[in-house]
C-alpha cells in the first residue's frame, strides 16, 4: 500500500483545528484539556488562558469551577513530570502510564536517597494521611514525621537555596501511583490531597493498555509523529516509546510529511486542503507545549523565530500555524498591559485579528487590556 503524503501546511491546519486554535472547540474546559492531551499548569493563570483561548466563552472562573467545584479536572503531575490539568476521567490512564515508566536517574547522594521499601512506605502513608483532607507541604511533612519517622522528613534535598525533606524526592511518584494530587491553595501555599476523595473507585489503569491509549490521544492532538517525538513530549526514553508504538502497531498507519515519516491512528481522517489560518497569542508553557508536541522545530520556527524565540520559554505569537513573534503581559489591578513583538510586518487584517485576540485575553483573565506593538524586553519564563 502506498504511503500517504501530507504537506506541512496540511499538518499545521490539522493541528490548529484539533487544538481549538483555528476556531473554538465545542464544550467547556474538560473538552479543551482533553483535546490538548493535558494542559500545562505550572502557572495557573497561563493554564486558564490556554483553555479560555480555545473555547467559546470560558473564563478563568470557568476553569476554576471545573477544577475545584465539580472536579471534572484534576491538577497533578503528568507529561514530562510537570504540573498539568487533565480530565478527571483520564486520571486512571495517566497514572497507569506514569506508574509503569522506567525509573529515572536519582541525582541525590546515596545517603539522601530512599530505598524501594522506604518509597512504598512513604507513598502508602501519604495516601492515608491525605485520604480526608488537603494539606500544605509543611503540614504533610509534619504528619509524615509522626506517622513514618524522622528519617522521612530529614532535610537532605538541596532546592531553591534551602533543604527539602527527604520524602519530597518521591512526590511525582506518589502522584503517578494515584496517592496524591493537588488540592486548592491555602492562601499562597500549595496543598496536596488524595484523588480518591473526588473519584470514588479510582485506581490506575493497566499499564500496557494505558500506554497505547495515551499514544492514541497524543497522535490525535499532535500527529503525525514518531517514537522519538513521543518520547520527547512525555520525557521518557526512546526505547520505551518504540515499545508502545510496537504494541499499538495494528492501530497505526504510516504517512510522510515533507520527506519525513510519521504515524497517525489507523482510523484517523486525512487532512483537508484548507490552509492554516489565524493569529493566536499562546501563554507561557502553552507555547512550550505547542513546540514540544509540534515538530520539527525548523518548520515550526521559521526564519528569525528560530533565533529569537525557539531557545526560550516565551509567550508566542502564532500566525497560520507557525511562530511569528512573542509577547508579554503585565497586570496591575484590573489593567493588563500586553506587548507584542512581531517578527514580520502585520497588515491591517492581522492587526484586527491581534486586537480581537488581546480583547479575548482580557475577557478570559477578567481584566482591561492595553496593546503595545514593540520589542519584548523581559526574558522568558524560567
How does pLDDT run across 141-184, given as a tens digit for each residue? 999 999 999 999 999 998 878 899 999 999 999 999 999 999 99
367-371's contacts with Cβ under 8 Å and 24+ in sequence apart are 367/331, 367/334, 367/335, 367/336, 368/334, 368/335, 368/336, 369/336, 369/337, 369/338, 370/335, 370/336, 370/337, 370/338, 371/338, 371/340
- Beta strand 252-257 with 189-193 is unpaired
Instruction: Round to whole Å and give the CA distance between 143 and 135.
Output: 9
Q: To which residue does cell 533565533 refer? A: 307
Rounded alpha-carbon distances, angstroms, from residue 313 to 124, 298, 328: 36, 16, 11
Question: All 3 cell numbers of residue 361?
Answer: 485575553
User: Angle formed by the axes of helices 227-234 and 238-247, to 10°?
Assistant: 120
Categorize the per-residue pLDDT at 295 as very low, low, confident or very high, splitting at 50, 70 and 90: low
Asked if the model's pLDDT at residue 221 lies above 80, the reply is yes
Q: To which residue does cell 484590573 refer? A: 334
Output the pLDDT for position 246. Answer: 98
Output the pLDDT for position 60. Answer: 94
Q: To which residue does cell 497586570 refer? A: 331
Instruction: Round to whole Å and give the CA distance between 316 and 344.
Output: 13
Output the pLDDT for position 186. Answer: 94
Output the pLDDT for position 99. Answer: 94
Instruction: Round to whole Å and give the CA distance between 129 and 124.
Output: 9
Report the predicted TM-score, pTM, of the whole model to 2 decimal places: 0.92
Instruction: Round to whole Å and give the CA distance between 279 and 327.
Output: 13
Domain spans of the chain, in order of start: 4-8+205-265, 18-197, 279-373
Torsion over CA of 261, 267, 273 and 274, rounded to 10 degrees? -110
Q: Which fold has domain 4-8+205-265?
A: Arc Repressor Mutant, subunit A (1.10.10)
Let me know: does 362 contact 328? Beta carbons within 8 Å: no
CATH of domain 279-373: 3.40.630
Rounded alpha-carbon distances, angstroms, from residue 219 to 2, 5, 22, 233, 296: 21, 17, 18, 11, 15
Instruction: Round to whole Å and give the CA distance between 47 and 64.
Output: 10
Output the pLDDT for position 106. Answer: 79
Let me know: does 99 contact 81? Beta carbons within 8 Å: no
- Burial class, 298, CB count within 10 angstroms (exposed 0-12 / middle 13-18 / buried 19+): exposed
- Burial class, 250, CB count within 10 angstroms (exposed 0-12 / middle 13-18 / buried 19+): exposed
User: Tens of pLDDT along 174-187?
Assistant: 999 999 999 999 99
User: Residue 69 contacts by C-beta under 8 Å, 6 or more apart in sequence?
Assistant: none
Amino acid at each position: 500500500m502506498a504511503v500517504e503524503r501530507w504537506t506541512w501546511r496540511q499538518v499545521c491546519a490539522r493541528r490548529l483545528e484539533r487544538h481549538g486554535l483555528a476556531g473554538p472547540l465545542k464544550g467547556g474546559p474538560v473538552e479543551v484539556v482533553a483535546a490538548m492531551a493535558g494542559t500545562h499548569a505550572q502557572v495557573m493563570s497561563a493554564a486558564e488562558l490556554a483553555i479560555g483561548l480555545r473555547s467559546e466563552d470560558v473564563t478563568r472562573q470557568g476553569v476554576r469551577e471545573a477544577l475545584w467545584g465539580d472536579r471534572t479536572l484534576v491538577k497533578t503531575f503528568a507529561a514530562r513530570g510537570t504540573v498539568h490539568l487533565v480530565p478527571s476521567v483520564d486520571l486512571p490512564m495517566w497514572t497507569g502510564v506514569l506508574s509503569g515508566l522506567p525509573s529515572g536517574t536519582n541525582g541525590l547522594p546515596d545517603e539522601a536517597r530512599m530505598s524501594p521499601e522506604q518509597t512504598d512506605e512513604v507513598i502508602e502513608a501519604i495516601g492515608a494521611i491525605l485520604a480526608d483532607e488537603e494539606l500544605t507541604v509543611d503540614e504533610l511533612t509534619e504528619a509524615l514525621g509522626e506517622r513514618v519517622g524522622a528519617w522521612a522528613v530529614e532535610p537532605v534535598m538541596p532546592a531553591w537555596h534551602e533543604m527539602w525533606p527527604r520524602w519530597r524526592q518521591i512526590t511525582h511518584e506518589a502522584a503517578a501511583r494515584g496517592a496524591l494530587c493537588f488540592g486548592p491553595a491555602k492562601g499562597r501555599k500549595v496543598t496536596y490531597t488524595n484523588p480518591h476523595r473526588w473519584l470514588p473507585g479510582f485506581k490506575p489503569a493497566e499499564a500496557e493498555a494505558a500506554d497505547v491509549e495515551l499514544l492514541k490521544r497524543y497522535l490525535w492532538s499532535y500527529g503525525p509523529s514518531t517514537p522519538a517525538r513521543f518520547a520527547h513530549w512525555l520525557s521518557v526514553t526512546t526505547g520505551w516509546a518504540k515499545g508502545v508504538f510496537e504494541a499499538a502497531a495494528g492501530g497505526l498507519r504510516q504517512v510522510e510529511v515533507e520527506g519525513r515519516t510519521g504515524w497517525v491512528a489507523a482510523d484517523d481522517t486525512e487532512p483537508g486542503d484548507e490552509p492554516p489560518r489565524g493569529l493566536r497569542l499562546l501563554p507561557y508553557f502553552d507555547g512550550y507545549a505547542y513546540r514540544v508536541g509540534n515538530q520539527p522545530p525548523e518548520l515550526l520556527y521559521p526564519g528569525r523565530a528560530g533565533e529569537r524565540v525557539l531557545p526560550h520559554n516565551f509567550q508566542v505569537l502564532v500566525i497560520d500555524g507557525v511562530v511569528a513573534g512573542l509577547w508579554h503581559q503585565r497586570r496591575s489591578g484590573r489593567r493588563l498591559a500586553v506587548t507584542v513583538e512581531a517578527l514580520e510586518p502585520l497588515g491591517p487584517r492581522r492587526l484586527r485579528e491581534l486586537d480581537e485576540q488581546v480583547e479575548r485575553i482580557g475577557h478570559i483573565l477578567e481584566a482591561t487590556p492595553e496593546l503595545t506593538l514593540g520589542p519584548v524586553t523581559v526574558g522568558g519564563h524560567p
